[in-house]
Amino acid sequence: MMDLVIRNGLSDKTGTPIEVGITDGIIVAVEPSGIPAGDKEIDAGGGLISPAFIESHFHLENAYLWDGMINQSGTLQEAIEIYAKIKHDLTVEDMVERAGQVIRTAVSHGTLWLRSHVDIDHIAKLSILEGVAAAREAYKDLIDIQLVAFPQLGLAQNPEAVDMMWQAMENGCDLVGGMPHGEQNMDNAAKQIEIAFEIAQKYNADVDMHIDETDNPYWHSLELLADKTIETGWQGRVTAGHCCAMSAWDDKMAARIIEKVRQANIHVITNAPINLMLEGRGHNHPKPRGIARVKELLEAGVNVSCGQDDVQNMFYPYGKMDPLEVALITAHAAHLGGPEEIQAAFDMGRYNAAKLWKLDNYGVHVGAPANLIVLDAKSPVEALRRQPDRRYVIRQGKVLVETKTAVTWHT
């Protein structure tokens, strides 16, 4: 007898009826109907059975840092300055508590993988890594977390931060991060990328950088990143987050760099909620769009995902850790309204993110790990439009979350 059978569901790919059987945390049967009885059975209620969501760009340590630290200008620079003043004083206990809040919320919305960028610099040294690593350990039974060593305050002129990056990779970080546009100029941006790849090659680690998070067209460190990726043979192992400046590039420059990104097989994460909020502040009309050229990237064959980035802090006052909300905001900002574009938006936090995570056996098929959600929706457009409940969240064949919603009319 199977451990768990999900009945009365719809395929997340075709919309056709399916049942799913699970044994020992693995999907062992996917059929239109007729799967034998299981030890436990749940009713999908005619909703989509989908692989769980993936949050690929977040900052766990500063979630919910709000009271007394409000960003008055709403700019990225003020947010960085506010955070720099207090990051050294964050305690492990506080970081674990706030990270726990956001993790449990994310899991309740069907997220079972999360990649977090951890500030590594001459101010906090490895103290933030200690807190986030403790949160990863505390919640390892709920979610898989990757940590990115993130030098937000620069590397090119900051030898102490370079040393801290090497130490971070020895003390729990999985990927090498960066923020080249945070340097003084493009020459120093190139130097930061060189340092990051030296570390990545030493530890055989993937690279995930904040890239050109600005509306200033001077910055095109994405091109430097693509060139370095090809030079080092790191194709498919590099992710570029934000990529906002491309919205301000001229079309010829954008086409040239997007083609390099395609050749380098760089994964792009657009962070539409926070970038729509931060980029263009203080500008008169017309205001910059502030996000990556999502349509052009998709049309070029680049793998594009989307990320929440932050929740209620000095960088971003909103957010609820729901990948469907992030995908819907992305769809609006990038004008994704056609049927294939709607599907692309729906897939950004699922199959597209699974590619950059290298989750080769991701999906709803026999032999895949049973990391699933049951959505109270019958199609991608309904899922994005209605932002429905996750009826069930299942990790390794075990039901973690069940949501019951009742509406009573009084007439």
- pLDDT, position 281: 58
- pLDDT, position 285: 66
DSSP helix/strand/coil, 405:
coil
DSSP helix/strand/coil, 182:
helix
Q: Which of 55, 183, 213, 223 is catalytic?
A: 213
> Which is higher by pLDDT, 289 or 344?
344
CATH number reported for the structural domain that contains residue 312 in this entry: 3.20.20.140
User: Are residues 305 and 260 located together in one domain of the fold?
Assistant: yes
User: Are residues 372 and 230 located together in one domain of the fold?
Assistant: no
Asked whether residue 409 is domain-assigned, the answer is no
User: Are residues 20 and 149 located together in one domain of the fold?
Assistant: no
Contacts 24+ apart (CB under 8 A), 129-132: 129/168, 129/171, 129/172, 129/173, 130/92, 131/61, 131/90, 131/91, 131/92, 131/94, 131/95, 131/96, 131/99, 132/60, 132/61, 132/95, 132/99
Q: What is the DSSP letter of 376?
A: S
Distances (CA, A) of 140 to 98, 104, 106, 237, 395: 16, 12, 14, 24, 12
User: Are residues 307 and 395 located together in one domain of the fold?
Assistant: no
Please name the residue that has the structure tokens 């390892």.
Answer: 140
Asked whether residue 408 is domain-assigned, the answer is no
Please name the residue that has the structure tokens 């909020």.
Answer: 277
Is the pLDDT score of 33 beyond 70? yes
- pLDDT, position 284: 62
- pLDDT, position 276: 87
User: Are residues 242 and 371 located together in one domain of the fold?
Assistant: no
Q: Residues 155-168: pLDDT tens digits? A: 999 999 999 999 99
Averaged pLDDT of the chain: 95
Expressed in percent and rounded to 5, the helix, strand and coil fractions of the chain are 40, 25, 40
Asked whether residue 216 is domain-assigned, the answer is yes
Q: Catalytic: 299?
A: no
Q: What is the DSSP letter of 367?
A: T
User: Are residues 8 and 103 located together in one domain of the fold?
Assistant: no
Share of the chain above pLDDT 90, in %: 85
Asked whether residue 68 is domain-assigned, the answer is yes
Asked whether residue 81 is domain-assigned, the answer is yes
User: Are residues 386 and 309 located together in one domain of the fold?
Assistant: no
User: Are residues 172 and 280 located together in one domain of the fold?
Assistant: yes
Per DSSP bridges, beta strands 390-395 and 372-375 are antiparallel
CATH number reported for the structural domain that contains residue 381 in this entry: 2.30.40.10
370 is in which domain, residue-wise? Answer: 2-46+364-402
No. of H helices and E strands in the chain?
Answer: 13, 16
User: Are residues 42 and 76 located together in one domain of the fold?
Assistant: no
- pLDDT, position 289: 67
Q: Report the chain's terminal Cα–Cα distance, integer Å.
A: 47
Asked whether residue 410 is domain-assigned, the answer is no
Asked whether residue 411 is domain-assigned, the answer is no
Total domain count, the chain: 2
User: Are residues 370 and 309 located together in one domain of the fold?
Assistant: no
- pLDDT, position 74: 75
Is the pLDDT score of 99 beyond 80? yes
Asked whether residue 226 is domain-assigned, the answer is yes
Give pTM, 2 decimals: 0.96
Q: Residues 262-284: pLDDT tens digits? A: 999 999 999 999 898 877 555 56
User: Are residues 321 and 175 located together in one domain of the fold?
Assistant: yes
- The answer to whether the CB of 180 falls within 8 A of the CB of 224 is yes
User: Are residues 392 and 259 located together in one domain of the fold?
Assistant: no
